[in-house]
Amino acid sequence: MKKLKKPTIYLASDHAGFALKEQLKQYLIHLGYNCKDCGPFTPEPLDDYPDYMIPAAQEVARHPGSRGIFMGGSGQGESIVANKVKGVRAAVYYGGNLEVVRLSRDHNDANVLCLGARFVSEAEAKKAVKLWLETSFSGAIRHKRRLQKIRKFEQAC
């Protein structure tokens, strides 16, 4: 049986998500993923998250099949920035029901997951990331149709 190649994971954070990024990087490497850290490489209390999210999101868009995991205080700003990059579909998780994580892949084929580091524990983040990475896009006609409408809109911009 042929083993499926795991996608490259692009990681990025701001100061609030730095510790979680470092923890998840080790976890993902342990799971056998190739991780590319887009920064920061030290916690910088006055950093600006777009400085890390934009290049990381561009890498995800440039490499079809790759994924991004971005961390910030709430994950909201990181998602807003990531979704500005053509070809990126970012979802946010900041705790609670993991069904939203599964659906972001199953229905929306999200290629970036943004985590709210101030709201999830390391254990919760690991569960969410594992589920997200192991969930495939369903390929259902209605979901493909919706994603095609998004792509068409992106092309027009």
b/e sequence 122-133, b meaning 16+ C-beta within 10 Å: eebbbebbebbb
Are the C-beta atoms of 82 and 68 separated by less than 8 Å?
Answer: yes
Structure tokens at 4: 């499926």
Instruction: Spot the catalytic one: 44, 107, 124, 143.
Output: 107
Preceding peptide of 7 cis, ω within 30°: no
Q: H or E segment at 10?
A: strand 9-13
Catalytic site includes residue 99? no
Structure tokens at 67: 């994924």
| Coil/strand/helix, residue 80 | helix
Strands (E), 60-108: 67-72, 90-93
Catalytic site includes residue 78? yes
Instruction: Spot the catalytic one: 78, 124, 143, 154.
Output: 78
Q: Which residues are designated catalytic?
A: 78, 107
